[in-house]
Amino acid sequence: MHLLHLPVRDLAQAERSNYRETCMPRPIVAKIDTRALAHNLAVAKRLAGHARVWAVIKANAYGHGLLRAAQAFAAADGLAMLDIEEAVQLRHAGETRPLLLLEGFFDSADLMQCAAHQLTPVIHCTEQLALLSTSTLQAPLDVYLKINTGMHRLGFSVDTVPEVWRGLCGLKQVRHITLMTHFANADGDQAPSVTAQRQQFERATQGLQTAAGQPVMRSLANSAALVHFPQTHADWVRPGILLYGCSPFAFARTDQRADVLGLRPAMTLQSTLIAVQSLAKGQSVGYGGSFTAPHAMRIGIVACGYADGYPRHAPTGTPVLVHQMRTHLVGRVSMDMLAIDLTNMPNAGVAAPVTLWGAGLSADEVASHAGTIAYEMLCALAPRVSVQVM
């Protein structure tokens, strides 16, 4: 078929494929280590003890690729995400494990898809409850009932839980109910906050039982709570960033770093030097002249910028590796390039390999310098960056 007769999405894909066949891509690549993904899941499972594990793969598996991550997380008990289209894609790919929709459904069409593909939606508001109660489904659903214990984003207030519970239990559209909440401060030094939320959760759910008189399944712990608050593990845990080899805690705490937790980076962003410049004392580099050389310097230009997903606000001093040796950014990150200090690397020239984050240089450390978190950087990886699976 002629390219112009293809749908827009297929046309764009065909154009990209044709370009790759005829031209060399820019020398920037995200290397995805699926063995590291599987290893990190094993760490999560050891931490979880007897609890079952939802592997959170929202946002295209934090930039690592939905189907790729789902396969790497073969040992997970279920997969959790936001986008119903991603859940359906997994079902079409043959995925049979439970799939949890963390924001539930948004309209009746979504709800029909949940029933058709046996997805498990989170119910967090009265509007969803009303839509569920008036729907005609081809099969009943397992659902998660979300309780707001202090995060104040999604969830029913503590005092309404008994009424909502009774309402859900009375619906023919519902098969099994699991109770859940989400911690606001499990990643900080605020154990009292976690304890307070857990107590709110226990108070809200006290006395609730299944129709058979059994205790109700519960899910509370995210990555941070999985590591530091084993009393919150309950029946299901929901690790996210931990699975991708980054710490859920601030980089400043050495005892909470990803490598100390036994995690391996699953994404390594690499590029090369594409030019070398010499600066005399007093000369500047990049837009705005934000960096001025304090002495004669040798500067390397790297094929990576904010259009590739690198944080634009990363300042001078943000670490990078050249030939696995540490140096740092100088000046402002531009759309397609950034500059680094090569003054003490006289042998580094054009085509020298550069690691922006990943193996040998934690994304958490780069994020800390840039005033952000590794979650944002991983999720921001641009489609124009080539991906290599290891």
Q: Who has greater pLDDT, 139 or 7?
A: 139
Mean pLDDT of 20-38: 85
If asked whether residues 272 and 238 sit together in one domain, one would say no
Domain count for the chain, please give it: 2
Residue 338 lies in a domain: yes
Say whether pLDDT at 91 is over 50: yes
Residue 342 lies in a domain: yes
Q: Which residues belong to the active site? A: 58, 287
Give CA 23 to chain center in angstroms: 32
If asked whether residues 48 and 145 sit together in one domain, one would say yes
Q: How many CA atoms lie within 13 A of 30 on its CB side?
A: 24
If asked whether residues 156 and 240 sit together in one domain, one would say yes
Confidence of residue 15 (pLDDT cuts 50, 70, 90): very low
117: domain CATH number is: 3.20.20.10
Residue 24 lies in a domain: no
**pLDDT tens-place string over residues 93-110:** 999 999 999 999 999 999
Confidence of residue 12 (pLDDT cuts 50, 70, 90): very low
DSSP letters spanning 293-336: -SS-EEEEEES--GGGT--TTPPTT-EEEETTEEEEEES---SS
Q: Which of 23-27, 134-138, 185-189, 201-205 shows the lowest per-residue confidence on average (mean pLDDT)?
A: 23-27
Residue 26 lies in a domain: no
Supply the pLDDT for residue 16: 47
Supply the pLDDT for residue 9: 45
Give the domain range for residue 214: 34-244
Task: Look up residue 68 and give its two tokens.
Answer: 């790729």
**pLDDT tens-place string over residues 338-368:** 999 999 999 999 999 999 999 999 999 999 9
Task: Look up residue 99 and give its two tokens.
Answer: 């799939």
This prediction's pTM? 0.92
If asked whether residues 233 and 365 sit together in one domain, one would say no
| Residue 5: partners with Cβ closer than 8 Å, 6 or more residues away | none
β-pair partners for 320: 327
